[in-house]
């Protein structure tokens, strides 16, 4: 992990401003394909999560988005971001979007 502070210009080595907390960014990419059984379990859990926010509409909306994602991207951890962005875009409230993304990340950590 690299510490990145988008609000500050790059500083010479050895200098540090501790007045603001650092923002951690992921610099290691994971382009390995996800095993089909793990991906299916993850998608099932993700669909259930989406249903908590959208109710029965989730079952209608979920499949076309996943199908489109599967056609556009390889099933890697890095590419899950694009799927989550599409699913999260179905939620109108920013708080719902944040909660969905947070919980989807937890499901990803537990499942994949």
Confidence of residue 107 (pLDDT cuts 50, 70, 90): very high
- Please give the sequence-ordered ranges of beta strands (E in DSSP) within the chain, or none if there are none: 2-4, 23-25
pTM of the model: 0.72
Instruction: Give the integer Cα–Cα distance in Å for 38 and 79.
Output: 15
Q: Which residues pair with 25 in a beta bridge?
A: 2
Query: Which of 77, 79, 90, 76 has the alpha carbon at shortest distance from 47?
Result: 90
Chain centroid to CA 90: how far?
A: 14
Whether the per-residue pLDDT at 12 is higher than 70: the answer is no
Residue written as tokens 């509409």?
57
pLDDT in tens, 14-49: 444 444 444 434 445 677 899 999 999 999 999 999
Q: Where are the domains of the chain?
A: 30-111
Per residue in 86-103, pLDDT (tens digit) is 999 999 999 999 999 999
* 74/18 Cα distance (integer angstroms): 40
- Per the CB < 8 A criterion, the answer to whether 33 and 74 are in contact is yes
Per-residue pLDDT, 102 = 96
pLDDT tens digits, 42-88: 999 999 999 999 999 999 999 999 999 999 999 999 999 999 999 99
């Amino acid at each position: 992990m690299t510490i990145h502070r988008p609000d500050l210009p790059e500083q010479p080595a050895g200098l540090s401003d501790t007045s603001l907390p650092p923002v951690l960014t992921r610099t290691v990419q994971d382009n390995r394909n996800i095993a089909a059984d793990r991906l299916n379990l993850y998608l099932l859990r993700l669909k259930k999560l989406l249903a908590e926010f959208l109710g029965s509409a989730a079952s209608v909306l979920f499949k076309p988005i996943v199908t489109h994602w599967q056609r556009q991207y390889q099933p890697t951890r890095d590419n899950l971001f694009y799927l989550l962005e599409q699913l999260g875009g179905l939620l109108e409230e920013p708080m719902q979007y944040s909660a969905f993304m947070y919980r989807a990340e937890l499901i990803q950590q537990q499942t994949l």
